[in-house]
Chains A and B, each alone.
Chain A
Amino acid sequence: SQQGEEDPQALSIQEGENATMNCSYKTSINNLQWYRQNSGRGLVHLILIRSNEREKHSGRLRVTLDTSKKSSSLLITASRAADTASYFCATSSGNTPLVFGKGTRLSVIA
Chain B
Amino acid sequence: DTAVSQTPKYLVTQMGNDKSIKCEQNLGHDTMYWYKQDSKKFLKIMFSYNNKELIINETVPNRFSPKSPDKAHLNLHINSLELGDSAVYFCASSQSVQGSGEQYFGPGTRLTVT
Contacts and interface: CB of A to CB of B under 8 A. Distances in A.
- Verify that A and B bind, or say they do not: yes
A34 to B, nearest CB: 11
Interface stretch (B11-19, B61-69, B93-101): B93-101
A98 B58 CA distance: 12
Interface residues of B, number: 24
B1 interface: no
Nearest to B41: A103
Given A42-B90, A42-B108, A100 B43 contact: yes
B103 interface: yes
Contacts of A92: 98-100
Contacts of B44: 100
A41 interface: yes
B41 A48 contact: no
Given A92-B99, A95-B98, A97-B99, A43 B105 contact: yes
B42 A102 contact: yes
Is chain B's binding surface mostly helix, strand, loop or mixed?
loop
Residue from the set B56, B92, B102 with the largest chain A CB neighbour count within 10 Å: B102
Given A41-B107, A41-B108, A42-B108, A98 B99 contact: yes
A102 B103 contact: no
A99 to B, nearest CB: 8
A45 B102 contact: yes
Given A44-B105, A100-B42, 7 more contacts: A42-B4, A43-B43, A43-B90, A45-B103, A92-B98, A92-B99, A98-B103
24 contacts: A2-B42, A31-B100, A37-B41, A41-B108, A42-B4, A42-B92, A42-B105, A42-B107, A43-B43, A43-B103, A44-B105, A45-B104, A48-B102, A94-B98, A95-B98, A96-B98, A97-B33, A97-B99, A98-B45, A98-B100, A98-B103, A100-B42, A100-B43, A100-B44
Interface of A: 2, 30-31, 33, 35, 37, 40-45, 48, 86, 88, 92, 94-100, 102-103
